[in-house]
Copies of this chain bind each other. A is one copy, B any other.
Amino acid sequence: MILIADDEERDRNWLKSLLTEHFPDNLPVEEAHDGQQVVDMAAKLKPPLVFLDIKMPHLSGIKAAEQILNSLPNTGIIMLSNFSDEVYVRQLWKVVPPNGVFGYVLKNASNEQVVEATKAVLSGDCWIHPGIARVIQRTQNRATNLTTAEYEALVCIALGMTDHAIAKRLYLTEKAVQSRLKSLYAKLGIPGRGESHDTEFNQRCRAVFLSTKRGLINQSELDDWESKLSQETKAST
């Protein structure tokens, strides 16, 4: 029994046919269409292996994984993602239990890679997509890894907030915000006004650009943050 969750028909079919072909012993393959549904189905069916798309309506793949692992910690999880975004690796790291078994494959993976990942997780190993390996390394590197303080500030400037607005929102002084931003710029390797005259940058926008490029943040995550933000400001009035 294998459970797969993806909101797109095309991807479900692709995965289902791939699994029925290569893993006839593990049939049937059950399907879910969103995050909430897959949590419910997993609770009933207790499958040894679950495929989760990250981007799903109602409940993201990561949050779904959290809930499933809460009640059934021995479930093997394989995340499917369109991008090698660092945000997700970041979040996944927190959710997955220390000795949990999981895989992470990008959607542009070849069929062989998916089969390989499935075999690995079924036999109790982890399988991380080659492209992600580098990201994980960077996530654990002191010099380039962002702290939560820097990450918060990054999200705020990406939403277009001023220093003052950020300070008010995070209950800090403007100086503290600027301090966070300064170290953020340093870690992203953005030159300041003084050095390297040939490349003049607006550090604020440059930071957003580079962070998006590296997958530290992405649009859908930012949209979530913004809706949270507007809810809070409504509640406070």
Contacts and interface: CB of A to CB of B under 8 A. Distances in A.
A83 to B, nearest CB: 10
Which of A107, A108, A205, A206: most chain B CB closer than 10 A?
Answer: A205
Given A108-B8, A110-B9, A160 B14 contact: no
A159 interface: yes
B107 A207 contact: no
Interface in A152-170: 157-162, 164-165
Contact of A212 (B107, B200, B219, B233): B219
Interface string A157-194: 11111101100000000000000000000000010000
A213 B204 contact: no
In the complex, the count of this chain's copies comes to: 2
Nearest to A109: B10
Given A213-B219, A213-B223, A219-B213, A202 B9 contact: no
A160 B111 contact: no
A85 to B, nearest CB: 11
B160 A205 contact: yes
A207 B160 contact: yes
Nearest to A198: B233
A57 B208 CA distance: 25
A209 interface: yes
A74 interface: no
